[in-house]
Amino acid sequence: MEAINPTTGETIQTYDEMSPQQVEDAIEQAHEAFLGWHRVSVPDRAALMQKAAQVLRDNKNEFAKLMAEEMGKVMRDGRAEVQKCAWVCEYYAENAEHMLQTELVETEASKSFVTFQPLGVVLAVMPWNFPFWQVFRFAAPGLMAGNAGVLKHASNVPGCALAIEDIFREAGFPENLFRTLLIGSKQVETVIEHPLVKAATLTGSTPAGRAVARKAGDMLKKTVLELGGSDPYVILEDADLEESVATCVNSRLINAGQSCIAAKRFIVVESLRKRFEKLFVEQMRARKMGDPMDEETQIGPQARHDLRDQLHKQVEQSIKNGAQCLLGGNLPDSKGAFYPPTVLTNVKKGMPAYEEEMFGPVAAIIRVSDDKEAIRVANDSVFGLGAAVFTRDVAKGENIATNELEAGCCFVNAFVKSDPRLPFGGVKESGYGRELSHYGIKEFVNIKTVYVK
């Protein structure tokens, strides 16, 4: 298992993949840790989670550098990601006791109530694009609920995976309560089959989600899936154009475009299209691409060369099918897995830029005649993770977000983002279940009814 720097192409470090026996031992050890942990009071769990937040903050530069080296995230974004991880730890440390409080229910019994009990060891299969945040948004509520965790992280970020295990150890959590499994994708099914693994959560591609859901379904184990997205941003005729474009560009270029909730399809009413395209191209062109270790860099490389090349094929096929390239669209003549900010217009149904997730800094502009067509096109996707609508009529925007757009997270005049206080997840082929907020902490608990005569 190799960690390869996508900026230089150099191997950072080689790791030995765990043997089946080592995986077995890690799961059993996590279960043993769980047996004691689930009896620890929530306030005592919270004290350790606060320490984990402090470990994160104390080492934010070191962790940002690790992300830059392993998957190309620019330093400022890496530090922000670590800070967000600390926030989610603090949020659940402060709120878990209330979220997990026993709920009394009036019945004919002398006493009846609902209690929330942990399940045990939960498997987390996580991606490389936000290598710390994706893990902590599962781990903070999962551990606060009393569960143990085993992490199968993406194979290109093994250093991040091991660093996260060390964070919980340094914060004083029980040894082995959270374990990293250095394994490939082929071993995931075996882990799901293990009788001590009670549930699984995955953030990643739709095919990977199907595979995990299929195996977990065979084993009758709970899953939460946060999968791909092709988020539509609807720009209505009365939108504040300059503010809308700035928001759209920021969302499209987050993490060099490698985000499932980044804006990907820009659905623009025809009367605004030419002005939107002009401003959009200007702002995309102005972003500085380069070495993620350089503090001035705004866009780093793609995480791997194969991912960059697949993105380019999608762009080429879209252009071949009739899309017009307004910016970018060419592979740089330099080392590193870089891909330039790219803007495609005249994007239509049947093109990869319309149908598929473009996991990189590529924007697809789709023109429509009116609001009604804009909503239809926004929903014309197998995905349903996030969506946004831009309009000066806030009541109108709220109605569209609430009642018209088919997505798990709908924003008005703002770009879609995750927040510990709000539930996060999708519909359709973007997955099911919710992370974050009080909904997230209750995904992996036994919602138990107790009835006393």
Per DSSP, the residues of 275-301 read HHHHHHHHHHHHSPB--TTSTT-SB--
Catalytic-role residue among 226, 356, 404, 406? 226
Contacts of 399 (CB under 8 A, 6+ apart): none
Extract the runs of DSSP E, i.e. beta strands, from 64-195: 103-104, 111-118, 121-125, 148-152, 178-180
In which residue are the tokens 């992280």 written?
153
What angle, rounded to 10 degrees, do the helices at 75-99 and 133-144 form?
20
Place of tokens 């980044």: 262
Give yes or no for a contact between 47 and 374, defined as CB atoms under 8 angstroms apart. Answer: no
Q: Tell me which DSSP letter residue 41 carries.
A: -
Helix H or strand E segment including 106: none
Strand spans (E) along 87-214: 103-104, 111-118, 121-125, 148-152, 178-180, 197-203
- Cα–Cα distance measured from residue 179 to residue 109, given in angstroms and rounded to the nearest whole number: 43
Query: Using CA atoms, how far apart are residues 171 and 369, in angstroms rounded to an integer?
Result: 56
Q: What is the mean pLDDT of residues 368-394?
A: 98
pLDDT at position 299 is: 98
**Chain segment 268-294, per-residue pLDDT in tens:** 999 999 999 999 999 999 999 999 999
Q: What confidence category does residue 334 fall into, taking pLDDT thresholds of 50, 70 and 90? A: confident
Q: CA–CA separation, 223 vs 159, rounded Å?
A: 26
Distance in angstroms (rounded) separating the CA atoms of residues 5 and 25: 31
Average pLDDT, whole number, for the chain? 98
With cut-offs at 50, 70 and 90, classify the pLDDT of residue 127.
very high
Report d(CA 90, CA 96) in Å as an integer. 10
Name every residue whose Cβ is closer than 8 Å to that of residue 18 and which is 6 or more positions away in sequence.
26, 181, 182, 183
Q: Which of 4, 8, 16 is nearest to 293 (CA)?
A: 8
Residue 222: per-residue pLDDT: 98
Task: Report the C-alpha gap between 251 and 230 in whole angstroms.
Answer: 12
**Residues 149, 199: Cα–Cα separation, whole Å:** 10
What number is the average pLDDT over the span 192-213? 97
User: Residue 277: which residues within 8 A CB-CB, separation 6 or more?
Assistant: 268, 326, 343, 345, 365
pLDDT in tens, 341-378: 999 999 999 999 999 999 999 999 999 999 999 999 99
- What single-letter amino acid sits at 201? T
Query: Which of 89, 160, 248, 260 is labelled catalytic?
Result: 260
Sketch out the chain's domains with CATH numbers.
Answer: 2-227+430-452 (3.40.605.10), 231-419 (3.40.309.10)
Q: Is 194 helix (H, G, I), strand (E, B) or coil?
A: coil
Instruction: Give the mean model confidence (pLDDT) for residues 305-329.
Output: 98
Angle at CA of residue 357, ends 215 and 383, nearest 5°:
65
Two structure tokens written together for 373 = 């067509």
Interior/surface letters 298-307, b for 16+ CB within 10 angstroms, e for the rest: bbbbbbbbeb
Half-sphere exposure of 155 (CA within 13 A, CB side): 13
> Residue 411's pLDDT is what?
98
What is the model's pLDDT at position 440?
Answer: 98
Dig out the tokens for 254 from the structure. 């987050």
Is 409 in the active site? no
pTM, two decimals, is 0.97
Amino acid 278 reads: K
**Does the pLDDT value for residue 53 go beyond 90?**
yes
Specify the DSSP class assigned to residue 243: H
Tell me the pLDDT tens digit for each residue of 138-195. Answer: 999 999 999 999 999 999 999 999 999 999 999 999 999 999 999 999 999 999 999 9
Is residue 200's pLDDT more than 90?
A: yes
pLDDT at residue 19, as a whole number: 97
Contacts of 286 (CB under 8 A, 6+ apart): none
Question: pLDDT by residue (tens digit) across 61-90?
Answer: 999 999 999 999 999 999 999 999 999 999
Residue 94: CB atoms within 10 A of its CB come to: 12
Beta pairing partners, 199: 122, 222
311 within 8 A of 256, measured Cβ to Cβ: no
**Of 166, 215, 164, residue with least CA distance to 186:** 215
Asked if 260 is an active-site residue, the reply is yes
- Cα separation, 372 vs 407, whole angstroms: 17
Q: Which has the higher per-residue pLDDT, 1 or 315?
A: 315
Q: What span, in angstroms and rounded, lies between the C-alpha atoms of 343 and 92?
A: 40
The backbone torsions φ and ψ at residue 432, rounded to the nearest 5 degrees and listed phi first, read -155, 165
Nearest in space to 208 (alpha carbons), one of 308, 124, 312: 124
Cβ-based burial of 110 (10 A; exposed 0-12, middle 13-18, buried ≥19): exposed
- Kindly tell me if the per-residue pLDDT of 267 is higher than 90: yes
Q: What are phi and psi of 268, to 5 degrees?
A: -120, 130
